[in-house]
Amino acid sequence: MSELLLSGGTVHTLDDDRRVAEAVLFRDGRVAAVGDTETVDAAATDPELIDLDGRTVLPGFNDAHTHVFSVGIGLLETDLSAADDREEALELLAENADSTPAGEWVLGFQYDESTWPAGGRDYLTKGELDAVSEAHPIVAVRVDGHSATLNSRALEAVDFSGVEHDVRTEGGEPTGRVVEDATGRVRAASYPDVPKAREALDAAIDRYHELGVTSIQTVAGLTRVREHGYVQQEALFAHWREDDLDLRTTFYVPQWQAESLSDLEIASGFGDEWLRIGGLKTFSDGSIGSETAKTHREYAGGGRGEMVNDREQLREWFARAARTNQQIATHAIGGEAIDVVIDEYERALAEYDDGFDPRLRIEHAELATDEAIERMADLGIVASMQPNFLQWNGDDGLYENRLGDDVRPENNRYREMLDADVPLAFGSDKMPPGPLYGMSFAVESPYESQRLTVDEALAAYTRGAAYAEFQEAEKGVLEPGRFGDAVVLDADPYENPDSFDEIAVELTVLNGDVVYDGR
């Protein structure tokens, strides 16, 4: 029997009555007791004891939408989100090139030109990357993962046959910018092997522990890495088999495996407490940053974006998933894409087994209209949203620059989702991962349509996220019988609504064990 007792602090159980306790006892991976110090002490036999010294305990955070390998690869390669302007981004890539043997890939992730000083906000160019090095293939992937810039050497190294439409050209010559499917080819060429994927997974797991995250829902991207199977899946299953997956993981299977998934009759929830199959992940449109989200409004650069899969394709996938009672998580950002997905979800819902609510999910739902929000509520569609996206909703920020000033109160309407009774789950989409950072935006938003209370934000990152993956009986609440997953903070978010993102994670407890100690 193994016991861990945390006492002498404030324990927010997040149960239905929002009970607050002083101590919590974990036994053999589960919560054994929670309450006042005396009662919980009495329930313990021979516990490892940690004095909270006034600290705050919450259920472990659950990132409802992430790309765990991108988190890990970003940690192992160059993180361009740290660059304050394009010169700095190029310097970081040059440092990487200096320490990389000639001919090997130099990879940069998370570059975000929209945050750079005015006058320097164009996408990175092929010429700039050629100037960094012509001896290495170099790729800089944009923060949204939907587009990238390549140098000449990288353009030669990637096979774009079949996806030429996503390789941007000028006068017949590739500009170095690629979007959507072509971005996937870049990742396939530059990151193909399992040992490297497992290294990335380890790095991501450590990072998540530091952030107080004990569960993730990792959704497949658009990248098809090879004809059969999937390197990232192989890495996940290898970690699971060897008991190295120290993060409760629900995996949403990529759209190109829709057929295999339903041929195996795999229903949502298959797996164990460490690795489960959530269901199918599909895409409907692109992103606002890359001006590829399918919107009702016109972009500053013209056009209204594009569907990456049309209505008929989505219908076919949804019908297949419905026949085998699989949950579906569909990426939809622009208002028009969201409308199409809701239409097709409504049609598919009739085909699930009677009495089974598949909790169909819309990922992002950034530009949902009033009508779409109402329909989501009526159909029980889960809004899987990312409060950290509001980092782009400031003055002169990406939302305003791409779609006009009046879009600022009309994107990411978490408040209006909750008010309409749409189930809300929070995640990070790894931009960057970090629940406290993310929630600070929803709590502090100047727009009523987006602003949540501390309790609502915390619930979306715990209980709401658990609901989105059918795990609300196990996760999201600290009460006896639940998974022993918790986070200990140096300050109480309920008491510090204006300085949320200054709160530090001090301990992370997973399965009743301390997996991170930052004290």
Residues making contact with Zn ion (CB under 5 A):
429
Cβ 448 to Zn ion shortest distance, Å: 27
CB nearer Zn ion, residue 429 or residue 506? 429
CB nearer Zn ion, residue 34 or residue 247? 247
Cβ 357 to Zn ion shortest distance, Å: 24
- Which residue matches tokens 């620059």? 401
CB nearer Zn ion, residue 416 or residue 429? 429
**Structure letter (DSSP) for residue 483:** B
Cβ 284 to Zn ion shortest distance, Å: 13
CB nearer Zn ion, residue 283 or residue 516? 283
Rounded Cα–Cα distance for residues 74 and 246 (Å): 19
CB nearer Zn ion, residue 212 or residue 427? 427
Helices (H), 9-125: 37-43, 68-76, 86-98
CB nearer Zn ion, residue 429 or residue 444? 429
CB nearer Zn ion, residue 35 or residue 221? 221
Longest dimension (CA), the chain: 77
Cβ 515 to Zn ion shortest distance, Å: 25
Amino acid at 279: G
Cβ 431 to Zn ion shortest distance, Å: 8
Cβ 311 to Zn ion shortest distance, Å: 21
For residues 287 and 146, the answer to whether their CB atoms sit within 8 Å is yes
CB nearer Zn ion, residue 26 or residue 317? 317
Per-residue exposure over 330-347, b if at least 16 CB sit within 10 Å of its own CB, e if not: bbbbbbbbbbbbbebbee
Cβ 429 to Zn ion shortest distance, Å: 4
CB nearer Zn ion, residue 59 or residue 221? 221
Q: Is the preceding omega at residue 137 within 30 degrees of 0, hence cis?
A: no
Burial of 4 (0-12, 13-18, 19+ CB in 10 A): buried
User: Which is it for the CA torsion 65, 69, 73, 75, positive or negative?
Assistant: positive
Cβ 96 to Zn ion shortest distance, Å: 24
For residues 111 and 142, the answer to whether their CB atoms sit within 8 Å is yes
Cβ 412 to Zn ion shortest distance, Å: 14
For residues 76 and 30, the answer to whether their CB atoms sit within 8 Å is no
Helices (H), 135-282: 152-157, 180-190, 194-210, 231-241, 258-263
Residues sharing a CB contact under 8 Å with residue 384, sequence separation 6 or more, in sequence order: 64, 65, 329, 361, 362, 363, 364, 365, 425, 427, 468
Q: Tell me the residue number closest to Zn ion, measured at CB.
A: 429
Amino acid at 426: F
- Which residue matches tokens 């190295």? 244
